[in-house]
């Protein structure tokens, strides 16, 4: 990320490593079961998207998962949750080691999600916008039986339009508000954020999902911001005109998705709150992590079934997550 001196507005840097893993291997990285490792932080919404799509498509056996500590240090995302403080598959202590294996001397940002080539230990991609789309379109030969179509061809134009608006005003909008250092820049992006949330509230008051009658990529992308909204964005990022819980349709929609297999079972509120409040010291100098809100409200009835819809279309729900990937129950 960079900050422009004239407006002090937050700017998200484009992904530096944008190779693609494709069925035909056009970028030199062919789809291959067991070859790649997806590195994530449970705190990160962009990484959460990749985790959800991987679960829904049943790719757990095809691409393994590495989970970093939610707290970074100056050397980047670290594998201190694993025995010996090293990833057991890649053998590295920091994700930066895979970046440097790809580009020696690299001094840019170290971001998740990242996909690493296991045999070489080399980073393949950190293109968070493309990773999920390729899991949906290029990895089809390895999808589980009954995997949903999250990016149906006949709805792609509408999905793309929705996710562009959601990315600009919501996914990235909360960051632009949170890291703004001038009042006018903050007010502009915070206003756009809530105008978009109001429009989504209206859209979702009469339909269960954002596009069509099944879960799509658009829902995955909106969910990861909504699930973090009251816990961190409302207070920590000053997105406080309205809480998610005060927007009836969006709050019910978010709970509906949370209670759908593949969504809530990837969410760790402890990782989320500790990361944002402990790492962003320029916003929260004390590093104090708040005790709320109560995450058990995510399990309350949502009533969205009355709107119809088929969560997985002609497919089926994913099975339980692997035991090594389960999150603590809400208490």
Cite the annotated binding site for glutathione by residue number: 77
> What is the distance between the alpha carbons of residues 298 and 300, in angstroms, rounded to a whole number?
6
Catalytic residue selected from 151, 175, 186, 253: 175
Q: Are 10 and 180 in contact (CB under 8 A)?
A: yes
Q: Are 90 and 116 in contact (CB under 8 A)?
A: yes
Could you tell me how many helices (H) and strands (E) the chain has, helices first? 9, 6
Annotated binding residues: 77
Is the torsion defined by CA of 243, 249, 254, 259 positive or negative? positive
239 is catalytic: no
> What is the distance between the alpha carbons of residues 55 and 62, in angstroms, rounded to a whole number?
11
Collect all residues with Cβ–Cβ distance below 8 Å to 211 and sequence separation of at least 6: 155, 158, 159, 162, 218, 219
Calculate ∠ Cα 308-309-313, nearest 5°: 150
Catalytic residues: 44, 175
């Amino acid at each position: 990320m960079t900050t422009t001196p004239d407006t002090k507005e937050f700017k998200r840097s484009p992904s530096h490593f944008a190779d693609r893993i494709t069925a035909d291997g056009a970028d030199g990285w062919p789809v291959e079961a067991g070859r790649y490792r997806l590195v994530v932080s449970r705190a990160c919404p962009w990484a959460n998207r990749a985790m959800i799509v991987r679960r829904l498509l049943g790719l757990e056996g095809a691409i393994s998962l590495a989970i970093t500590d939610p707290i970074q240090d100056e050397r980047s995302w670290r594998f201190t949750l694993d025995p010996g403080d090293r990833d057991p598959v890649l053998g590295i202590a920091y994700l930066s080691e895979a970046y440097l294996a790809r580009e020696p001397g690299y001094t840019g940002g170290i971001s998740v999600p990242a996909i690493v080539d296991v045999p070489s230990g080399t980073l393949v991609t950190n293109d968070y916008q493309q990773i999920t789309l390729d899991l949906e379109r290029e990895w089809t030969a390895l999808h589980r039986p009954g995997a949903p179509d999250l990016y149906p061809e006949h709805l792609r134009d509408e999905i793309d339009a929705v996710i562009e608006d959601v990315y600009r005003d919501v996914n990235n909008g909360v960051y632009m508000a949170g890291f703004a250092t001038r009042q006018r820049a903050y007010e502009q992006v915070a206003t756009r954020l809530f105008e978009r949330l109001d429009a989504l509230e209206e859209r979702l008051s009469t339909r269960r999902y954002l596009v069509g009658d099944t879960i799509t990529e658009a829902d995955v992308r909106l969910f990861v911001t909504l699930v973090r909204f009251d816990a961190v964005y409302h207070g920590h990022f000053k997105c406080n005109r309205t809480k998610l819980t005060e927007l009836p349709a969006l709050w019910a929609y978010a709970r509906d998705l949370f209670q759908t297999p593949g969504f809530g079972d990837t969410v760790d509120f402890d990782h989320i709150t500790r990361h944002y409040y402990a790492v962003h010291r320029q916003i929260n100098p004390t590093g104090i992590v708040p005790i709320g809100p109560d995450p058990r409200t995510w399990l309350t009835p949502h009533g969205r079934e009355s709107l119809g819809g088929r969560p997985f279309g002609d497919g089926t729900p994913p099975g339980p997550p692997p035991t090594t990937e389960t999150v603590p129950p809400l208490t």
